[in-house]
Amino acid sequence: MTCLPADQIAQQLAFLVELDRLKSIVRQSPLINQSRKENSAEHSWHLSMFALVLSAHAKDVVDTLHVVKLLLVHDIVEIDAGDHPIHSVSGHDALIAEAEQQAAERIFGLLPQHQGREMLELWREFEAAETPEAIFAKALDRMQPLLINTLSNGGTWTENGVTQRQVMERYGSIIARGSPSLWEVASERVSQFFAAAASS
């Protein structure tokens, strides 16, 4: 067994301690039981489980472990940059992207160089959404809040006055690109939710 120098272990522990702050980043999405909002650490864990359970439905064959890695790192930048919900219209996409890039460099820079570089590349791969794994990871990142909203009285859709058409536009292409079969199921859930909401 190769033991790392004490200074590298200290760097790794500093990074892991920093990640605890992700538990304090509150998202708009509620828990399904609606007792409170979920935090970004819970979101990342839940998405990782989505990958383990649903990878067989990816449009292309994917390395499930690689998808999990992408999902575990994709929101770490929110420690510095905060959460930017899909339904908010800020008009500051370039500023958000720059803030997230700076956050990624700072946070992953806490690690020993080789590990930090690997984590940064995973984060960039997710953002670029060009590999089969990243495309599927992005699909799951849309699928999870969609599922939650259909099970929590509309969740963020109700809070933000989001229409069925907006849901289909904002979620549809991304989920379908990674998994047409998951989008078929998800779109049916969306239709059922809005039909029930209209008749109530």
Residue 166 belongs to some domain of the structure: yes
* Domain around 145: 6-199
Spell out the residues 6+ positions from residue 29 whose beta carbon is closer than 8 angstroms to its own.
37, 38, 43, 145, 148, 149, 155, 156
Model confidence pLDDT, tens digit, residues 116-138: 999 999 999 999 999 999 999 99
Domains in the chain: how many in total?
1
Residue 147 belongs to some domain of the structure: yes
Residue 121 belongs to some domain of the structure: yes
Written as six digits, the tokens of 101 are: 């890039």
Model confidence pLDDT, tens digit, residues 87-96: 665 567 788 8
Residue 78 belongs to some domain of the structure: yes
Give the global pTM: 0.93
Q: What is the CATH number of the domain that holds 73?
A: 1.10.3210.10
Q: Where are the alpha helices (DSSP H) in the chain?
A: 6-19, 40-54, 64-73, 78-81, 93-108, 113-128, 132-150, 155-160, 164-178, 180-199
Model confidence pLDDT, tens digit, residues 29-62: 999 999 999 999 999 999 999 999 999 999 999 9
Residue 1 belongs to some domain of the structure: no
